[in-house]
A and B are shown apart, each in its own frame.
Chain A
Amino acid sequence: MCGIAGALSLREGVAPPSREDLAAMVGALRHRGPDERGLYRDGRVGLAHARLSIIDLAGGQQPLCNEDGTRWIVFNGEIFNYVELREELVARGHHFRTRSDTEVLLHAWEAFGPRCFERFNGQFAVALWDAREGTLVLARDRLGVRPLHLCEHGGRLWFASEVKAIFAGAPAIPRELDPAGLAETFTFWTAVAPQGVFRGVRELEPGHVRVVGPRGATERAFWTPRYPARTGGGTPGSLAEAVDRTRASLQAAVRLRMLRADVPVGSYLSGGLDSSLVAAMGRRAKDDRFFTFSIRFEDAEFDETHFQRQVAARIGSEHRDVVVRRRDIAEAFPDVVRHAERPLLRTAPAPLFLLSRLVRDAGIKVVLTGEGADEMFGGYDLFREARVRRFWARAPGSRLRPRLLERLYPWLARSPVAQQALAREFFGRGLERAAEPGFGHMTRWGPTAALWRLFSPALRGEVEGFDPVARLLATLPAEFSRWSPLAQDQYLEVRTLLSGYLLSSQGDRMLMAHSVEGRFPYLDTELVELANALPPDFKLRGLDEKHVLKRVAEGWVPASVVRRSKQPYRAPDARCFTAPDAPAWVADLMDERAVTGAGLFDPRAVARLWRKCREAREDAPPSNADNMAVVGVLSTGLLHEQLVRRAPTRESPGDFRTVVDRLAPPGAARGPAGAPGERGTT
Chain B
Amino acid sequence: MRKALSLEFYKLRRKYVLPMALLFLTVELVWALIAVSMSFERNRDSAGWEVIVAMLSTMNGLFLPLLSAIVVSRICDMEHKGNTWRLLRSMAVQPGKLYAAKYACAGLIMLGVCLCQVLAIAVFGVQSGYLTSVPLVLLARFLFGTLVTTLVVLALQQWISTVVKNQAFALCLGMLGGFLGMVGDLFPEAARRVFVWAYYTGLSPVTQQYASEKMQFVVREAGPISSAAAVLLAVAALLFLMGRRHASRLEG
Question: Do A and B share a complex?
Answer: no
Chain A residues with CB under 8 Å of chain B are none
Chain B residues with CB under 8 Å of chain A are none
